[in-house]
Amino acid sequence: MDFLVLFLCYLALVLIGVVMICICSKTHHLKGLVRRGEQVISCIVPECLQRAMQRLLHYLFHSRNHTFIILHVVLQGMVYAEYTWEIFDYCQELEFSLDYLLLPYLLLIVNLVFFTLTCATNPGIITKANELFFLQVYEYDEVMFPKNVRCSSCDLRKPARSKHCSVCNWCVHRFDHHCVWVNNCIGAWNTRYFLIYLLTLTASAASMAIVSTAFLVHLVVVSELYQETYIDDLGRFQVMDTVFLIQYLFLTFPRIVFLLGFVMILSFLLGGYLCFVLYLAATNQTTNEWYRGDWAWCQRCPLVARSPSAEPQVYQNIHSHGLWSNLREIFLPANPHYEKKKKYE
């Protein structure tokens, strides 16, 4: 089995794994699989190593730290260094348009600006000072967000669409999720920055994939590699086909082909996630609400009083008011300072 088939099998397994995790995350299957996996690991791995792994995982995913920010910057730096070292120089020799080659760097600058804003901006932390303001922003649906509930950790009244982040240990207005890559919650006040950050990150990966592909295609056309022949395992002359051509390019330019494969996979994964985030923005949902959305659990929810004969209620999104209104809410979120200025006007 040649390397191309192995690479395609590996790519298919990665994509199938990601899709299965996304599907199972909305069901109880994933939790069951995790429990079984933990049982198997506990039988194989020594207890001291298990405790060390638990501490490491708790530090990485259940406490605020800069590990993933550093990893993010290092990976981005490595990809751009490889692009500059290999592809940029070759493309200049082949007289590619300079504007075309500089596009990934322009996207990088914009991406880093919005990455910093996403990391540093207050996501909408609920405090004693702004609690009353946030209580008036959204209507309670009495299914997912019932009235008169206090946060057991913050001892504050919980506004509709808010959630307590166990990692940051604070309640966040219009809580979406906690992102380890920015070491911050994504909430009402930084969702707009997160959207542009994700958009420019996807665009930068896609632009590098396009430039790398254009370079390899141009190289094949200029050198007329597609017209060459090779001798197969049986000693017969064969016309250069696509599979053999890709393998030849991999052996000749291994780092460029590997970079191309990496940014292509990254583009597909980021593009899929970007589509999901844009869908949430267009329908005025958060990741937290989408994840819990198909729980018909007024029947099960201990916070909502109901008689034994009452039928369970299904959650419905009452906050969507049309595409432009939903987008305006994200890019011009409710803010106490903004409201005060508006009143004075």
- Residues with a catalytic annotation lie at 179
Question: Tokens 């088939």 appear where?
Answer: 5
Tell me: the pLDDT tens digits for 186-227? Answer: 999 999 999 999 999 999 999 999 999 999 888 888 777 666
The answer on pLDDT for 271 being more than 60 is yes
- pLDDT tens digit sequence for 88-120: 888 888 888 888 899 999 999 999 999 999 999
Pairing of strands 177-179, 184-186: antiparallel
Q: In the predicted model, what is the mean pLDDT of the chain? A: 82
Q: Which helix (H) or strand (E) is 186 found in, with range?
A: strand 184-186
Distance of CA 261 to the CA centre of its chain: 19
d(CA 227, CA 43): 58
Q: Mean pLDDT across the stretch 138-164?
A: 92
- Provide the b/e sequence for 139-176 (b: ≥16 CB within 10 Å): ebbebbbbeeeeeeebebbbbbbbbbbebbebbbbbbb
Domain ranges of the chain: 64-344
DSSP annotation string for 35-82: HHHHHHHHHHS-HHHHHHHHHHHHHHHSS--SHHHHHHHHHHHHHHHH
| Percent of the chain whose predicted confidence (pLDDT) is above 70 | 74
pLDDT-based confidence at residue 27 (cuts at 50, 70, 90): low
What SS3 state is found at 189? coil
For residue 240, the number of C-alpha atoms closer than 13 Å in the C-beta half-sphere is 14
Mean pLDDT, residues 297-311 taken together: 46
The pLDDT value recorded for residue 279 is 96
The model's pTM is 0.83
Do the beta carbons of residue 119 and residue 202 sit within 8 Å? no
Q: What is the pLDDT of residues 82-92, one digit of tens each?
A: 999 989 888 88
